[in-house]
Structure 1
Amino acid sequence: MTLLVTCVKTPEDWAKARAIRMQVFIREDTFEEEGEYDDHPSALHFIGTDVEQNKAVVAARVLVDDVKRIAKISRVAVLSECRGKRYGTVVMNALEDYTRDRVDLFILPALVDKTGFYEKCGYSRIDDEIFVDEGQKQC
């Protein structure tokens, strides 16, 4: 299967990204809906579309600090029925490629149970600190 990753530019794409985030973060991971959507000015939102299904199945966000040249990847969400197809890896690579010329460092907070995925993508923990955000253990 082929995943096409694009930067959200239209209200229709934003609605698709929101629906994926709603399913994964609100319904599955039980985050609070009120904190899920923000208007951060440096946020770049992405969707991944399964080309064969013609269906958006992945959403992600990158916050870029152009002054510090840091990109914070967050809210990476893959619909449950599409997990295990390497779509998460594809979207991570696309996010990095899209912002690579603007930043020197990529960082991300991760749910503790998702750290293995991010390690497979080449990320590593900088310490053993675990914190709770919106009721979820993260590192």
Structure 2
Amino acid sequence: MSLLVQKVNHPEDLEKVFAIRKVVFVEEQACPPELEWEHEDESVHFLATISGKPCGACRWRKTEDGYKMERFAVLKEFRGQGVGRALIAEALSDIPEDAHYIYLNSQLNAVSLYAKFGFNVVGEQFEEAGIQHYKMVKKI
């Protein structure tokens, strides 16, 4: 199994990223499509593949607060194979070294995964797109 995560900006690769997010967020988790497709142009996108097959995606973007990591998605048949960890590691390594504030909104079942990368829960649980989340901030 060869797992590869790459930063992508070619339209063909972005289509693969968006297709993965559509399956995971819009179809599986019933997120409203209009919430799913925002801030695409200002985001840095990543595509994970296993043996050449698209299997996961994520992105980061600069916001007024700092750097926000978001839209982590792994197709169901590839879960439990380290794809999420590889996406987080690659996205983190791509954020500028002088970043003073890196944060994300984690679904409840992913909190422990992000914690392994130095993220801590901040504040109360909240709902986003009908799903419970915690805001998490990386210790720098």
Report the alpha carbon displacement of residue 121 of structure 1 after superposing the two structures with TM: 3.0
Uncovered stretches (5+) of structure 2, i.e. residues with no partner: 135-140
Which deviates further from its counterpart, 25-34 or 11-20? 25-34
Report the alpha carbon displacement of residue 95 of structure 1 after superposing the two structures with TM: 0.4
Which deviates further from its counterpart, 81-90 or 114-123? 114-123
Instruction: State the percentage of identical aligned residues.
Output: 29
TM norm structure 1? 0.87
In the other structure, the counterpart of 1:91 is 87
Report the alpha carbon displacement of residue 2 of structure 1 after superposing the two structures with TM: 2.4
Uncovered stretches (5+) of structure 1, i.e. residues with no partner: none
SS of aligned partner of 1:108: strand
**In 2, distance between residues paired with 1:116 and 1:81?**
21
In the other structure, the counterpart of 2:49 is 49
Alignment of 1:1-139 (within 5 A): 1-50=1-50, 52=51, 54-65=52-63, 70-127=66-123, 129-139=124-134
Report the alpha carbon displacement of residue 134 of structure 1 after superposing the two structures with TM: 1.6
TM norm structure 2? 0.86
More strand as a share of residues: 2
**In 2, distance between residues paired with 1:22 and 1:119?**
26
Report the alpha carbon displacement of residue 29 of structure 1 after superposing the two structures with TM: 1.2
**In 1, distance between residues paired with 2:113 and 2:82?**
10
Report the alpha carbon displacement of residue 115 of structure 1 after superposing the two structures with TM: 1.3
Code of the residue aligned with 1:42 in structure 2: it is: E
Code of the residue aligned with 2:61 in structure 1: it is: L
Report the alpha carbon displacement of residue 103 of structure 1 after superposing the two structures with TM: 1.4
Code of the residue aligned with 2:75 in structure 1: it is: L
**Against the structure 1 CA distance between its residues 33 and 45, is the aligned structure 2 distance closer, same or farther, given a 3 Å change threshold?**
same
Code of the residue aligned with 1:111 in structure 2: it is: Q
RMSD: 1.7
Which deviates further from its counterpart, 1-10 or 24-33? 1-10
